[in-house]
Amino acid sequence: MMSRIQGQPQSGYTQLLEGSFLTTARAVNLDVHHKHCYQIAKFLRGKTTIQAIEYLEKVIKKEAAIPYTRRSRKGKGGNTMAGHRKGKMGPGAYPYKASIEFIRLINSAMDNARQRYDTIDPEEMVITHLAAHRGQISRGFRPRARGRASPKNHYQVNLEIFLEHFGEEEEEEDF
C-alpha cells in the first residue's frame, strides 16, 4: 500500500492518489517514441480498460488509427506531420511498439486491481489518468567532419496510469 500525505503530491506521480477504488501502474524507461506515447495517452483517457485494449489491438493490426492532434510545427492548420486517415478522424498513425507497451501497462494496472480489490471487475474500471513523461537519456556523440561531433542521444519514456471504479461496490450479505 502506498503512503499518502493529505494535500501533498505523491512521490513519483503527477497527481494526488485519491479515490476509494483507485489502482496505479508505471512503466519506466521504455524504448518507445515519446510523441507516439503522448498521442495514445491523450486518446485513451476516459475510456474503460476493455475499450482501450480492444482499440489498441486494432491499431496493431492497422484496422484503426490513433488520432494525432498536437501540432509539432508552428503555423496555421495544425500541421502534425501525419497523413490523414479514412473517415472523419483527420491526421493519425499506427504506433505499433507504443501500442504494445500501453497494452502491457493497462494489463499490469488491471492485475493490481485484482490483487487489491476482490469485489471489483477490473474490466469496468475507467482510465482517469494516463501520462507519458521523458525518462532517462543515454547521451552519445556522432563524429563529424573536421574533428567536430554532433549529439546522438537516446530518449526513453516513463508511462503512468490510474484506473478508477465509479460504480457501487457489490456487497455480499451475511445472515
Q: Taking 60 as the threshold, does the pLDDT of residue 148 lie above it? A: yes
When comparing pLDDT for 56 and 1, which is higher? 56
Q: Is residue 44 part of a domain?
A: yes
Query: In whole angstroms, what is the distance from residue 109 CA to residue 86 CA?
Result: 32
**Is 32 in contact with 96 (CB distance < 8 Å)?**
no
Q: Residue 14 domain-assigned?
A: no
Give a yes or no: residue 78 inside a domain. yes
Quick one: CA torsion of 43, 9, 107, 28, rounded to 10 degrees? 90
Say what the pLDDT of residue 170 is.
53
Confidence check: pLDDT of 144 > 70: yes
Q: How many domains does the chain have?
A: 1
Give alpha helix (H) positions in the chain.
34-44, 49-60, 96-116
Q: Decide if 39 is inside a domain.
A: yes
For residue 54, how many other CB atoms are within 10 A of its CB? 12
pLDDT category of residue 98 using cuts at 50, 70 and 90: very high
- Cβ-count burial of 43 within 10 angstroms (0-12 exposed, 13-18 middle, 19+ buried)? buried
9 compared with 26, residue with greater pLDDT: 26
96 inside domain: yes
In a domain, 48, yes or no: yes
Mean pLDDT check: name the lowest of 72-81, 95-104, 163-172.
Answer: 72-81
Instruction: Indicate the SS3 state at residue 51.
Output: helix
In a domain, 128, yes or no: yes
Whole-model pTM?
A: 0.80
How far is 39 from 132, CA to CA, in rounded Å?
A: 9
Q: What percent of the chain has pLDDT over 90?
A: 58
pLDDT at 7 over 60: no
CA distance 159 to 20: 23
Half-sphere exposure of 139 toward its Cβ, with a 13 Å CA cutoff?
A: 3
Q: What is the mean pLDDT of the chain?
A: 84
CATH of the domain at 71: 3.90.470.10
Distance CA 52, CA 90 (A): 20
Which residues share a beta bridge with 158?
A: 133
Examine residue 15 and state whether it is found in any structural domain, yes or no: no
Which pLDDT score, from 0 to 100, does residue 1 have?
Answer: 40
The pLDDT tens digits for 34-88 are 889 999 999 999 999 999 999 999 999 999 999 888 765 555 555 566 777 777 7
Range of the domain at 146: 22-164
